[in-house]
């Protein structure tokens, strides 16, 4: 807390010079990383009416990447392509004490039964637009302009980050290894700051 109070002291004595402002921003940035959560408990929810946990290559890929990065899997399940089922499943993860972040895979496209984004976005207290933007930027290198058909998104649900990825194994690997593993500890720590 003393660091935080100290930064307020800088803010109060700031005379408007750019140098002081840069120092203040740098100090805050350092302060934020102190809240990172190094080992997270994840929930992985596959949205599909045809897959099971035993036949879920995207979920397998996400689980493997999370374990390799030193995180644990608290929940792994498959839910139907159903608005209420998806929304209820993600909301329940936010209520559990052993889930720090949730990843969904599937249901982010444009077919009539793709309802993950609609269901989960209603739960967001804050959206993380940079996740979808970066995911599509990285996906462009693999699938080109077809990225316009993916609606990958992320946000905070009751203090818990929720990341919604497409259902293909390649997309699941890309989003988890290139973005989620790198940023989930930081985002989770920041999302919890008010409650600590």
Are residue 6 and residue 65 in the same domain, yes or no?
A: no
**Percent of the chain at pLDDT above 90?**
78
Rounded Cα distance, 78 and 100, in Å = 19
Rounded Cα distance, 30 and 187, in Å = 14
Are residue 88 and residue 17 in the same domain, yes or no?
A: no
Say what the pLDDT of residue 122 is.
Answer: 98
pLDDT, tens digit, for every residue of 24-53? 444 444 455 566 778 999 999 999 999 999
Give the residue, 19 or 169, on which the prediction is more confident.
Answer: 169
pLDDT, tens digit, for every residue of 80-124? 999 999 999 999 999 999 999 999 999 999 999 999 999 999 999
Question: Helices in 144-180 by DSSP H: which ranges?
Answer: 169-175
Are residue 14 and residue 105 in the same domain, yes or no?
A: no
Are residue 71 and residue 116 in the same domain, yes or no?
A: yes
Average pLDDT value for the chain: 86
Are residue 28 and residue 73 in the same domain, yes or no?
A: no
Total of domains in the chain: 2
Are residue 78 and residue 121 in the same domain, yes or no?
A: yes
How would residue 78 be classed by pLDDT, with cut points 50, 70 and 90? very high
Domain residues for the domain of 19 are: 2-33
Rounded Cα distance, 167 and 154, in Å = 15
Are residue 93 and residue 14 in the same domain, yes or no?
A: no
Are residue 90 and residue 186 in the same domain, yes or no?
A: yes
Are residue 8 and residue 54 in the same domain, yes or no?
A: no
Are residue 98 and residue 63 in the same domain, yes or no?
A: yes
For the cut 60, the answer to whether the pLDDT of residue 11 exceeds it is no
Domain with 122 in it: what CATH number? 3.40.980.10
Instruction: Please classify residue 155 by burial: count the beta carbons closer than 10 Å to its beta carbon, then call 0-12 exposed, 13-18 middle and 19+ buried.
Output: buried
Average pLDDT over residues 152-180: 97
Are residue 181 and residue 112 in the same domain, yes or no?
A: yes
């Amino acid at each position: 807390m003393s660091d935080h109070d100290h930064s307020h002291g800088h803010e109060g004595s700031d005379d408007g010079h750019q140098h002081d402002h840069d120092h203040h921003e740098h100090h805050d940035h350092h302060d934020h990383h102190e809240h990172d959560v190094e080992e997270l408990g994840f929930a992985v929810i596959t949205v599909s009416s045809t897959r099971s946990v035993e036949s879920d290559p995207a979920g397998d890929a996400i689980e493997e990447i999370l374990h390799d990065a030193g995180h644990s899997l608290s929940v792994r399940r498959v839910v139907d392509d159903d608005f209420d089922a998806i929304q209820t499943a993600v909301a329940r993860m936010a209520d559990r004490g052993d889930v720090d972040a949730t990843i969904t895979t599937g249901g982010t496209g444009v077919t009539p039964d793709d309802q993950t984004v609609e269901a989960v976005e209603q739960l967001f207290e804050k959206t993380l637009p940079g996740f979808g933007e970066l995911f599509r930027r990285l996906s462009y290198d693999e699938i080109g302009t077809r990225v316009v058909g993916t609606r990958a998104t992320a946000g905070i649900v009751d203090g818990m980050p929720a990341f919604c990825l497409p259902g293909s194994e390649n997309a699941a690997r890309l989003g988890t290894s290139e973005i989620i593993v790198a940023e989930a500890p930081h985002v989770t720590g920041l999302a919890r700051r008010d409650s600590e």
